[in-house]
Amino acid sequence: MITIDYKRLNISPGDRILDMGCGPGRHVSGACADYEAKVVGADINIEDLLEAKTNIFVHEAYGGKLRGSWGLSAADITALPFADHAFDHVICSEVLEHIPDDHSAAKELNRVLKPGGTLTLSVPRFFPEKICWTLSRAYCNTRGGHIRIYKKSEIVVLFESLGLKKRFSHHAHSIHTPYWWLKCLVGPENDAALPVALYNRFLTWDIMKKPKLTRSLDSLFNPVLGKSIVVYFRK
Amino acid sequence: MAVNEDLLEILVCPKCKGPIHLTPAKDGLTCNACKLVFEIRDDIPVMLIDEAKPLTG
């Protein structure tokens, strides 16, 4: 499931890309599959990085040869282990809403980005997230879970205060929004509940098969129901 | 497989942002300024200040 639209980044061969908060590596393998880039996946969770490594190997074995190269590192977003201006592109998808000191995180993402480079952020969109928080106390009280709900304007101010310039934004994953509302309704841990289990099967099928019908529906409903807001900046 | 070479080129100490060096056994990355060693686990550098070990010797 790819949240960031790489086509909007103008990636050139040899560019370095950082995916901060890469989790199991979906954006790392996505970038390596399509671009001759040097991609670094970083995450604070070593278990997620090990899963990412396995997933990328599986992608290489069964999904075709990767065009780019990749490396993984454990890293704290508020104390990044990368040199100043190391990356041409920095992406950070669904991470900042977990980070208590988001100002330090934003400064670090900006520090490692080259002047002229792109920084792309995604966070949960305000109104679908607000409904999740209203439906379920457990959803927002999970350890390591979401600690704030951003308005798009707050994300723009946070990064423009560092000198970056917003280029454009869009919403993503509208067909995932009802799934999370259902989960919150029955309890976020109750994955066995029939409506949740069925919707999960539907989403997995959609991610694996990418059928035109559901992809079109997702795009059609993104402006009103999109679960994530994606904002593109240039330094 | 070892740590990705392109990654090694841009890694710095997360604390002082200074240079780091592979240990002779290639199982860690050392920051001489902070006197810290960052473990390499399954070819993945663990560049977390809280998990770094003090440099001895």
Domain ranges of chain B: 5-54
In angstroms, what separates the C-alpha of B23 from chain A's closest C-alpha?
A: 17
Give the pLDDT band (50/70/90) at residue A62: confident
Measured in angstroms, the CA of B34 and the nearest CA of chain A are apart by 13
Q: Which of A50-59, A71-80, A181-190, B13-22 shows the lowest per-residue confidence on average (mean pLDDT)?
A: A181-190
Å from A25 to nearest chain B CA? 14
Query: What is the tens place of the pLDDT at every residue in A2-58?
Result: 888 999 999 999 999 999 999 999 899 989 999 999 999 999 999 999 999 999 988
Topology, domain B5-54: N-terminal domain of TfIIb (2.20.25)
The answer, yes or no, to whether residue A143 has pLDDT greater than 80, is no
Cβ within 8 Å, pair A83-B17 = yes
Cα-based distances in Å from A24 to A50, A72, A223 = 8, 11, 27
Contact (CB<8Å) A74/B17: no
Q: Does A55 touch chain B (CB under 8 A)?
A: no
Question: Side-chain half-sphere of A156: how many Cα atoms within 13 Å?
Answer: 11
User: Are B10 and A79 in contact (CB < 8 Å)?
Assistant: no
**Ranges of chain B whose pLDDT falls below 50:** none
Domains along the sequence of chain A with CATH: 6-234 (3.40.50.150)
Q: Counting beta carbons within 10 angstroms of the beta carbon of residue A45, is it exposed (0 to 12), middle (13 to 18) or buried (19 or more)?
A: middle
Q: Are strands B21-22 and B36-41 parallel, antiparallel or unpaired?
A: unpaired
User: Which tokens hold the place of A175?
Assistant: 């067909």
* Helix (H) or strand (E) segment spanning residue B7: helix B5-10
Partner-chain contact A82 B49, CB within 8 Å: no
Distance from CA of A197 to the nearest CA of B (A): 34
Give the three-state DSSP class for A205: helix
* A71 contacts B7? CB cut-off 8 A: yes
pLDDT computed for residue A139 by the predictor: 78
Question: Which residues in chain A are contacts of B19 at CB distance < 8 A?
Answer: none
Using the Cβ of A70 and the Cβ atoms of chain B, whether some distance falls under 8 Å is answered with yes
CB A42 within 8 A of CB A18: yes
Exposure of A42 in the CB half-sphere (CA atoms within 13 A): 29
Contacts of A105 in chain B (CB under 8 A): none
**Burial letters for B11-32: b for 16+ Cβ neighbours within 10 Å, e otherwise?**
bbbbbebeebeeeeeeebbbbe
Chain A contact for B22 (CB, 8 A cutoff): no
Which of A141-150, A218-227, B48-57 shows the lowest mean pLDDT across its residues?
A: A141-150
Closest to A39 in 3D by CA, of A72, A2, A10 = A72
Q: For residues A174 and A223, what is the distance between their CA atoms, to the nearest angstrom?
A: 8
CA A129 vs. chain centroid, Å, equals: 15
Q: What is the residue type of A205?
A: W
> How does pLDDT run across A85-126, given as a tens digit for each residue?
999 999 999 999 999 999 999 999 999 999 999 999 999 988
